[in-house]
Chain A
Amino acid sequence: MEDIFGQLSQQAINGITIGGVYALIAIGYTMVYGVLSMLNFAHGELYMMGGFTGWWVLQFFSSKHQPVMNAAILISLMILAAMAVSAILGLVIERVAYRPLRKAPRMNLLLSSLGVSIFIQNFILYTQGAKVKVFQVSNLIPEGLRTFHVGDTVISFMRIFVIGVCFVLMLLLTFVIKKTNIGKSIRATAQDIEAAAFMGIDTDRIIVIVFLIGSALGGAAGILVSLLFTQVDYYVGFQAGLKGFTAAVLGGIGSIPGAMAGGLLLGLCEAMAVTFFPSAYKDVVAFIILIAVLIFRPQGLMGEKIREKV
């Protein structure tokens, strides 16, 4: 019995870690859906690019698998670069693949996003190869700090770090959305884009900002997971994108708090499932949740009934 409790607390930590990452990805889906009513299926690739960018930075500042600078600075640099590159890529995608289709049926935008996704994936496969890139990060963390023991639960430094960064980013976003003029403009644009323009809000600029924020958070999620599992490859965006999308639907697509709650809940459910079932069933649980939400509560946990936008 005690064994089960030990496992559950261990899995709870794991669940919150991965759930925080899902939440960051889900925010990108939900914000873009909010302003454009479209599902940006290229979002998973921004996550993948975050991982790759981090790896490039790590390579650049390493010599013979040893970092040549302070570890804290290097990790911060990896995260910032990942966010920046993903954000810029998100802007380019919006400008090139979505803006020309702004007035087209949503299906065209959806297909365009799938096209972008396939393009980026294959571009990385072509230029970087199919081999998994390994992060030599164990050297970055001083030995005494690598793991902590709380009772029977073992928590690695990286997990605490990932949870910390995820929550800081989510708090920051919540503050921006609730309190700043940009945040209010984003909410207004998501609720009624024409009425937002009637308030003097430059809605094109807001859409760009939404892509910027969503993509940066997706990139952050990518580098955090890469640091945690110490690897990245060209295909990671697909699975992560699906999970983030599931989390967004679970929370109620269009709702930012919903995406956060949905991500954490999905992460926890997956981790808990591993306690009772073989770990191969982890993804099955995730998608059973997706199907169940779509059948029984299509508006998600915190969303409202979806009205067809005219």
Chain B
Amino acid sequence: MNAETVLELKNVNACYGKIQVLYNINMTIKKGELICLLGGNASGKSTTLKTILGIVKPSEGAVFLNGENINKRPTDYIIRNGVSIVPENRRIFPRMTVLENLEIGAMHRKDRGQVKQDIESMFELFPILEKRINRQGMVLSGGEQQMLAMARALLSNPAVLLMDEPSMGLSPALVDQQFELIENINKKGTTILMVEQNATMALSIADRGYVLQTGEIVLSDDAKALLDHPGMQKAYLGGEL
């Protein structure tokens, strides 16, 4: 395995009960990359993320995080060892303040002294959060919640940041901002694996992409090549390649 590889899925199969949903998934994510995972509904994108997070266990194959096989590890272990997620629907803690939500993101870090400074730098990246610092999570707008979820995930200093449908539920004006932000975060050095429905936008900022269809990777290439790929639209809309 390449030393630069942060996350690797090797021949991963996964099932819900008796129904197989992932077939022989192979993916590598290298340090500093922005990778997008595309596919229509029920193509297996979310299950792939769940497999990385240890919520769904591979029935065959293995997931490696920084070279360690994490198949049998629980979610909290995987998070503490370098994966972080901006979950679908944000999942911020509704009855905690913005500051508490941020602190909880950094809670498992060992470099406690650095956390305060990192929270400050999150306020530079997302100035609105500083204005809302003592508000409860539940009173934030959808866009603010998305920023809070991103800041919270970044505060864990992840080796790889997973993002599940980051543009979902945001107004069109915010979607552009959102992708700009993701690109910025990646440029500052965070490795990102992003699951997105908005394929064109996602590929416009990504380095590489994987396209899933009914649980199989049907395309994988550089983002630019994927954008121009004739089969791309068809695959993405759920048609056969």
Chain A positions near chain B (C-beta within 8 angstroms)? 181, 184-185, 187-188, 191-192, 194-195, 197-204, 304
Given A184-B100, A184-B104, A188-B104, A201-B93 contact (CB < 8 Å): no
Candidates B84, B103, B107; contact of A201 at CB < 8 Å = B107
List, in ascending order, chain A residues with CB within 8 A of B94's CB: 191-192
List, in ascending order, chain A residues with CB within 8 A of B53's CB: 198
Q: Which residues from 88 to 123 on chain B have a C-beta closer than 8 Å to any C-beta of chain A?
A: 91-96, 100, 103-105, 107-108
Q: How far is the CA of A200 from the CA of B75 in the complex (A)?
A: 7
Interface status of B76 (Cβ within 8 A of chain A): yes
Contact B93 A187 (CB under 8 A): yes
Q: Which 4 A-B pairs have the closest CB atoms?
A: A200-B108, A200-B79, A195-B91, A197-B75
Candidates B84, B93, B95, B100; contact of A195 at CB < 8 Å = B93
Given A199-B79, A200-B76, A201-B76, A187-B95 contact (CB < 8 Å): yes
Closest A-chain residue to B84, C-beta based? Answer: A198
- A interface, over-half SS: helix
Cross-chain pairs A/B with CB under 8 angstroms, 11 sampled: A184-B103, A187-B93, A187-B96, A191-B93, A191-B94, A191-B96, A194-B55, A195-B87, A198-B84, A198-B91, A201-B76
List, in ascending order, chain B residues with CB within 8 A of A188's CB: 93, 96, 104
Cβ of B151 to closest chain A Cβ, rounded Å: 13
Q: How far is the CA of A221 from the CA of B53 in the complex (A)?
A: 41
List, in ascending order, chain B residues with CB within 8 A of A181's CB: 107
Contact B76 A194 (CB under 8 A): no
List, in ascending order, chain A residues with CB within 8 A of B156's CB: 199-200
Given A184-B100, A187-B96, A200-B108, 15 more A-B residue pairs with CB atoms under 8 Å apart are A181-B107, A188-B93, A188-B96, A188-B104, A191-B94, A195-B87, A195-B93, A197-B76, A198-B79, A199-B104, A199-B156, A200-B76, A200-B107, A201-B104, A202-B76
Against A, the Cβ 8 Å flags (1 = close, 0 = not) of B154-183 are 001000000000000000000000000000
List, in ascending order, chain B residues with CB within 8 A of A197's CB: 74-76, 79
Closest B-chain residue to A197, C-beta based? Answer: B75
Contact A199 B105 (CB under 8 A): yes
Chain B positions near chain A (C-beta within 8 angstroms)? 53, 55, 74-76, 79-80, 84-85, 87, 91-96, 100, 103-105, 107-108, 152, 156
Cβ of A184 to closest chain B Cβ, rounded Å: 6
Contact B75 A198 (CB under 8 A): yes
List, in ascending order, chain A residues with CB within 8 A of B108's CB: 199-201
Closest B-chain residue to A201, C-beta based? Answer: B76
Closest B-chain residue to A178, C-beta based? Answer: B100
Q: How far is the CA of A188 from the CA of B96 in the complex (A)?
A: 8
Cβ of A273 to closest chain B Cβ, rounded Å: 34
Cβ of A21 to closest chain B Cβ, rounded Å: 27
List, in ascending order, chain B residues with CB within 8 A of A191's CB: 93-96
Q: How far is the CA of A188 from the CA of B75 in the complex (A)?
A: 15
Q: How far is the CA of A181 from the CA of B103 in the complex (A)?
A: 9
List, in ascending order, chain A residues with CB within 8 A of B92's CB: 195
List, in ascending order, chain A residues with CB within 8 A of B85's CB: 198
Q: How far is the CA of A200 from the CA of B79 in the complex (A)?
A: 5
List, in ascending order, chain B residues with CB within 8 A of A203's CB: 76
Contact A198 B93 (CB under 8 A): no
List, in ascending order, chain A residues with CB within 8 A of B95's CB: 187, 191, 304
Q: How far is the CA of A119 from the CA of B127 in the complex (A)?
A: 57
List, in ascending order, chain B residues with CB within 8 A of A185's CB: 104, 107
Closest B-chain residue to A195, C-beta based? Answer: B91
Q: How far is the CA of A191 from the CA of B92 in the complex (A)?
A: 9
Closest B-chain residue to A189, C-beta based? Answer: B93
Q: How far is the CA of A201 from the CA of B103 in the complex (A)?
A: 13
Contact B74 A202 (CB under 8 A): yes
List, in ascending order, chain B residues with CB within 8 A of A201's CB: 76, 104, 107-108
List, in ascending order, chain B residues with CB within 8 A of A200's CB: 76, 79-80, 107-108, 156
Closest B-chain residue to A192, C-beta based? Answer: B91
Q: Determine which residue in B79, B93, B108, B152 has the highest number of CB atoms from chain A within 10 A of its CB, and name it.
A: B93
Q: How far is the CA of A184 from the CA of B79 in the complex (A)?
A: 17
Cβ of A307 to closest chain B Cβ, rounded Å: 10
Cβ of B234 to closest chain A Cβ, rounded Å: 34
